[in-house]
Amino acid sequence: MPTADLIPVTVLTGFLGSGKTTLLNQLVHQPAMRDALVVINEFGDIGLDHRLMAEGDEHSVMEMSSGCLCCTIRGELSRSVQQALEGLDRGEGRPISRMMIETTGLADPAPILQTLMTDHWLAHRFRLDGVVCLVDAANGISTLNAHRESQRQATIADSLLITKADLVDEPRLTRLAERLTAKRLPVSEHADRQAEDWLGAGAYLQVSPLSGPSPTASIAPAPMLAPAGETPRSRYGEQIRSFCFSVETPIAPEVLEDWLDLVMSLLGDRMLRIKAIVNVAGRPQPLALHGVQHVFHPPVALPSKACPDGVSRFVFITSGVAPDAVTQLFDYFDR
């Protein structure tokens, strides 16, 4: 097939909580995402991101949460996409014009790119359009220092976008931008592409910031290494683990608050990510909660269909923390 007829694929990556799903939620309403197939890969047994995605008629969302696309379920990308496209061929939707893959926050994008390029079926239908990496301004520098995965994601990206610029002051944003543009390795052939190149006509630049005065910043990418003397501490697969926790009855607001406050303060740097859809007693709508390292974002009310069975679901991604340490604390407060 001529390259021009191949379906473009964008890989959207970025460390845990950097804002990938938030961005996708806004992008799916852009004209360039009409007829897009969105593949969401999540770290953890319970995938919550598909519930957090706004629904729309013009895009399909495929969730892959049984493992990480860069390692354990690498072979499944081809099979799952084939199934999705066969469904479309049978008239169960319109043909897709683009695919977007949201990686897990801990993914190494390189094996995913390799799969796209070397899997016979995928390589004959899709072409890589680019890798976009989100870097969270609130946690960016410490994450780059501490987590090899974050460095890999930013190094491989064609475009880097800084999210949460509204949460930091200008000097902090500048330090992060300088860190990201510090050219310590040969720059990849696409490295000078600006964010507006992907998705065609600058779709991202139309995305409004979530809150606050400063828009999400986009900068040209550049590979980087940790500064001398700062060794990445974590290695995916060794210490990092995810676990899920469900609560079947509505949770009293004070129990939720006290429990999460204590969890965050006790676990400190070892708490990488909390994601939850919570049925809070006395509230008509479920709440989405997001903790990203030491930052807890304001809760957001979701439509009732995000939690149809009334069960609250929490996903914790930690470094070296036993699940019991978290769940027993809940039992302590929920007496």
Ligand X SMILES: Nc1nc2c(ncn2[C@@H]2O[C@H](COP(=O)(O)OP(=O)(O)OP(=O)(O)O)[C@@H](O)[C@H]2O)c(=O)[nH]1
Q: Does 18 bind ligand X (CB under 6 A)?
A: yes
CA distance 312 to 291: 16
Smallest gap from Cβ 23 to ligand X, in A, equals: 7
| Nearest one of 62, 203, 18, 240 to 129, comparing CA atoms | 203
CA distance 136 to 14: 8
Q: Does 49 bind ligand X (CB under 6 A)?
A: yes
Smallest gap from Cβ 26 to ligand X, in A, equals: 9
For ligand X, the closer of residues 7 and 101 by Cβ is 101
Q: For the purposes of burial, counting CB atoms within 10 Å of the CB of 302, is it exposed (0-12), middle (13-18) or buried (19 or more)?
A: middle
Please report, as a single letter, which amino acid is at residue 144: L
Site string for ligand X, 260-289 (x = CB under 6 A): -------------x-x--------------
Span of 18-26, 62-70, 197-205, 234-242 interacting with ligand X by CB under 6 A: 18-26
Span of 14-22, 71-79, 150-158, 235-243 interacting with ligand X by CB under 6 A: 14-22
Q: Does 210 bind ligand X (CB under 6 A)?
A: yes
Assigned token pair, 137: 């301004």
Taking residue 54's Cβ as centre, other Cβ atoms within 10 Å add up to 12
CA distance 313 to 279: 9
For ligand X, the closer of residues 40 and 199 by Cβ is 40
CA distance 184 to 122: 33
Q: Which of residues 142-201 bind ligand X (CB under 6 A)?
A: 163-164, 166-167
CA distance 271 to 266: 9
Q: Does 297 bind ligand X (CB under 6 A)?
A: yes
- The number of residues that bind ligand X (CB under 6 A) is 23
Which chain residues interact with ligand X by CB under 6 A?
14, 16-22, 49, 105, 163-164, 166-167, 209-211, 216, 273, 275, 290, 292, 297
